[in-house]
A and B are shown apart, each in its own frame.
Chain A
Amino acid sequence: MLSDILIIILSSLGALFILLAAVGFVRMPDSYLRISVTTKAVTLGVGLLLASAAIYFNDLSVTSRVLAIILFIILTSPVGAHLIARASYFSGNKMWEKSVMDELEGKYRPNSHRLSSGEDIEDVEKMKEEPDRESDLI
């Protein structure tokens, strides 16, 4: 009986998080904001729903499988979000016009996709002026 209540609470919370993430995914004004929505809320929702499945079966093999899935999703979703956001930034995707700042502006070479940190701004200025080396154009 206790496990039933636990399953109901966990699955309701998980479904709610996924629904809110889907609404945010439609309503957000900017593709970067959309990516941030999907990584956080959906990871939490999937984890909660899979945990409810593990509690329902109460079996070692199911629990280990569920733990593997949750671990894998927690490991991979930030990596995938970073990769796709990077690709979308380099393809010139515009940010929302009310965004406060764009910290990457002017800090990378468009041809080689090489980034520089914010501290050496002189280097960045030099980077803009000097032509891209052949070795950068892979």
Chain B
Amino acid sequence: MTIEEYLYYIILPILAISVLLVFCRFVLGPSIADRVVALDLLITIGITIIAVYSIVYYQSTFLDIAMILGLIAFLSTVAFSYYLEKRNRKKREKKKKEDNAE
């Protein structure tokens, strides 16, 4: 068994199973934070899958895409958390105004 076969038949299925599990949590996830973290995790596992594919097909240029995915994952997490905090603040202000009116 060569290394490429080992990676293709054993490592890639393990990664695929973990992607499925994370996707379960992405669909079920009770709160928005869970979904954002699941998205981040999906992208991070995608980076590893790209690395494994670059070994299997002997294409080292795939790793550039992995790098860009890493950048985008961080940016999306930061943006989501920023807007979540803003939304909470607006909600609280609205609630406070209503309480004052009463």
Return the CB mask of B1-38 against A: 1 if under 8 Å, else 0: 00100110011001101110110110000111110111
* A interface: dominant SS: helix
Report whether B55 and A62 are in contact in the complex, using a CB–CB cutoff of 8 Å.
Answer: no
Alpha-carbon gap, A81 to B63, bound state (A): 24
Return the CB mask of B34-48 against A: 1 if under 8 Å, else 0: 101110110011011
Task: Report B61-85 residues with CB < 8 Å from chain A CB.
Answer: 63-64, 66-67, 70-71, 73-74, 77-78, 80-82, 84-85
Report whether B51 and A26 are in contact in the complex, using a CB–CB cutoff of 8 Å.
Answer: no
Report whether B37 and A87 are in contact in the complex, using a CB–CB cutoff of 8 Å.
Answer: no
Q: A53-B54, A65-B64, A110-B92 are in contact. Are A31 and B31 (CB under 8 A)?
A: yes
B93 on the A face (CB < 8 A): yes
B37: contacting residue among A12, A31, A62, A92, CB under 8 A? A31
Interface residues of B, count at CB 8 A:
54
Q: 12 new A-B pairs (CB below 8 Å) besides A22-B45, A38-B37, A84-B84?
A: A7-B3, A19-B14, A19-B15, A26-B22, A31-B33, A49-B48, A53-B52, A73-B47, A83-B82, A84-B80, A87-B82, A137-B89
8 A-B residue contacts at CB 8 Å?
A: A31-B34, A56-B3, A87-B85, A88-B32, A91-B32, A91-B88, A111-B89, A111-B96
Interface of A with B (CB < 8 Å)? 4, 7-8, 11-12, 14-16, 18-19, 21-23, 25-26, 31, 34-35, 38, 42, 45-46, 49-50, 52-53, 56-57, 59, 61-62, 65-66, 68-69, 72-73, 76-77, 79-81, 83-88, 90-93, 110-111, 113, 137
Interface of B with A (CB < 8 Å)? 3, 6-7, 10-11, 14-15, 17-19, 21-22, 24-25, 30-34, 36-38, 40-41, 44-45, 47-48, 51-52, 54-55, 60, 63-64, 66-67, 70-71, 73-74, 77-78, 80-82, 84-85, 87-89, 92-93, 96
